[in-house]
Amino acid sequence: MLTRIDHIGIACFDLDKTVEFYRATYGFEVFHSEVNEEQGVREAMLKINETSDGGASYLQLLEPTREDSTVAKWLAKNGEGVHHIAFGTADVDGDAEEIKGKGVRVLYEEPRRGSMGSRITFLHPKDCHGVLTELVTSAPVESPEH
Ligand code: MC0
């Protein structure tokens, strides 16, 4: 079951400048940043709010790390802007399977590694009224050691 907007992915040419825009304009700070080589992105997660399912909602700022990445390709065609939306779920495998059964193309056979150790998959934008849609199961919160 999809229980939150996990994040909105925003493609940008210059991550540091874009982070500074969100900090100076809205006061949002970087909660986490990483490079995801498989996806070809350098990203910053700005936490907006906690959600009632125990998760959170973020803005995800994405800068491509290589010219053949999906985000680089998208930026070349569209310029900067909203690249995808991501729904959070406790069960990305189950939800992807169920959505696939409704005739929507799921882009990965198995979920892959996403931001902060999450497991992610994508739905084809052409099957989702033009919106690249991601499903995310967050990594379990590590319990403190005793
Ligand atoms: C492409 N299209 C989009 C789109 N990207 N439409 C809406 N939103 C997007 N972001 C449209 C194109 O305009 C085109 O339509 C058609 O889809 C085919 O696109 P293409 O440019 O020919 O490119 P393809 O087919 O090679 O790839 C499109 C596809 C790809 C969606 C399959 O971008 C993909 O696999 N995306 C999933 C992975 C991804 O985006 N990773 C980056 C974020 P027309 O009408 O012109 O034919 S990584 C991330 O977000 C991770 C780190 C995380 O959240 O933790």
pLDDT at 141: 75
Question: Looking at ligand 1, which atom is closest to the CA of residue 83?
Answer: 10
Hey, what domains does the chain have and what are their CATH numbers? 2-137 (3.10.180.10)
pLDDT at res. 140: 85
Verify whether residue 134 is a known catalytic residue.
Answer: yes
**Ligand 1 centroid to 32 CA: how many Å?**
24
Sheet holding 30-36, edge to edge: 30-36, 41-50, 56-64, 2-11, 81-89, 133-137, 119-123, 112-113
Residue 142 pLDDT > 80, yes or no? no
Stretch 121-146: mean pLDDT: 90
Catalytic residue from among 32, 39, 43, 97: 43
Separation between Cα atoms, residue 20 and residue 27, nearest integer Å:
9
Q: What is the reported pLDDT for 117? A: 96
Question: What's residue 44's pLDDT?
Answer: 98
Q: What is the pTM of this model?
A: 0.96
Pocket test for ligand 1, best of 33, 41, 84 (most atoms within 8 A of CB): 84
pLDDT in tens, 3-50: 999 999 999 999 999 999 999 999 999 999 999 999 999 999 999 999
| pLDDT tens track for 61-92 | 999 999 999 999 999 999 999 999 999 999 99
Q: Which residue from 62, 67, 70 has its CB within 8 A of the most atoms of ligand 1, so it is best to mutate? A: 70
Cβ-Cβ contacts under 8 Å for 38 (sequence gap 6 or more): 112, 113
pLDDT band at 145 (very low <50, low <70, confident <90, very high): low
84 classed as catalytic? yes
Cβ proximity of 83 and 43 under 8 Å = no
Ligand 1 atom 32, closest CA: 124
Among candidate residues 112, 113, 133, the one with its CA nearest the CA of residue 123 = 133
Q: Is 29 considered catalytic here?
A: no
Q: Are 56 and 50 in contact (CB under 8 A)?
A: yes
**What is the average pLDDT across 102-129?**
98
* Tokens 């874009």, residue located: 18
Task: State the distance from the centre of ligand 1 to the C-alpha of 70, rounded, in angstroms.
Answer: 6
Contact indicator for 123, 99 with CB cutoff of 8 Å: yes
Would you say residue 144 has pLDDT above 90?
Answer: no
Give the amino acid at 89.
T
